[in-house]
């Protein structure tokens, strides 16, 4: 199976996913930070709380003391650390001239990626989520679900690293922001429903009656 076939089968089964949820890129940005090692349903009420307080934009929550922001982020997992990460990343985004629109940041993508990865609390997955879903750069987001599905269908090794898997998408797909967003969301949906740690292959759109290892 190649990547285009994988995408086509997932889209035929699950349809348009509309991910990343949110009404603004400020919400998307906060979600990228807060979703680290946390279920999305724990992040949603925190973002809603920030929306009600009108502190979604970095220039708003950067006015808060870190401890005060941490209190607001309670419920999103390691909220004290995430308060620090959010303030650090928010400061960086403002330094780029980010006003909530992708067009406001004119820095070259690889330079952005290198600089984001230097920020405390920003690993490759969070970095690429920001690039793809906030700044709309055609960078594919790799997660544990991606590795699991690709390895089970012969597209990568089970021990392949983040960069190795990302390179598979870079080499084999035309850069396309909307398609990359959709593909990532479809992989997540398939992993949640079928490609679990113990695979449930019977009705999986990728298995066609065969069983994964």
**Do 86 and 166 lie in a common domain?**
no
Residue-range definition of the domain harbouring residue 171: 3-18+140-193
Q: Is 127 a domain residue?
A: yes
**Do 118 and 35 lie in a common domain?**
yes
d(CA 62, CA 102): 20
Q: What is the pLDDT of residues 35-81, one digit of tens each?
A: 998 989 999 999 999 999 999 999 999 999 999 999 999 999 899 99
Q: What is the pLDDT of residues 175-187, one digit of tens each?
A: 999 999 999 999 9
Q: Is 59 a domain residue?
A: yes
**Do 106 and 74 lie in a common domain?**
yes
**Do 104 and 32 lie in a common domain?**
yes
pTM value is 0.95
Q: pLDDT > 70: what percent of the chain?
A: 99
- Looking up residue 66, the CATH number of its domain turns out to be 1.10.340.30
């Amino acid at each position: 199976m190649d990547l285009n076939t994988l995408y086509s089968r997932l889209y035929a089964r699950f349809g348009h996913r509309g991910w990343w949820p949110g009404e603004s890129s400020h919400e998307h940005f906060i979600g990228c930070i807060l979703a680290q090692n946390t279920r999305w349903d724990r992040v949603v009420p925190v973002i809603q709380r920030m929306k009600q307080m009108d502190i979604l934009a970095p220039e708003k929550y950067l006015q808060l003391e870190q401890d005060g922001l941490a209190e607001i982020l309670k419920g999103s997992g390691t909220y004290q650390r995430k308060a620090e990460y959010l303030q650090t990343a928010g400061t960086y985004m403002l330094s780029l001239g980010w006003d909530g629109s992708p067009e406001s940041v004119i820095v070259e993508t690889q330079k952005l990626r290198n600089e984001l990865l230097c920020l405390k609390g920003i690993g490759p997955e969070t970095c690429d989520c920001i690039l793809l879903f906030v700044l709309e750069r055609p960078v594919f987001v790799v997660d544990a679900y991606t590795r699991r599905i690709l390895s089970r269908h012969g597209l990568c090794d089970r021990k392949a690293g983040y960069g190795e898997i990302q390179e598979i998408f870079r080499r084999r797909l035309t850069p396309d922001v909307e398609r990359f967003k959709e593909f990532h969301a479809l992989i997540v949906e398939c992993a949640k429903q079928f490609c679990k740690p113990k695979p449930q292959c019977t009705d999986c759109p990728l298995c066609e009656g065969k069983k994964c290892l």
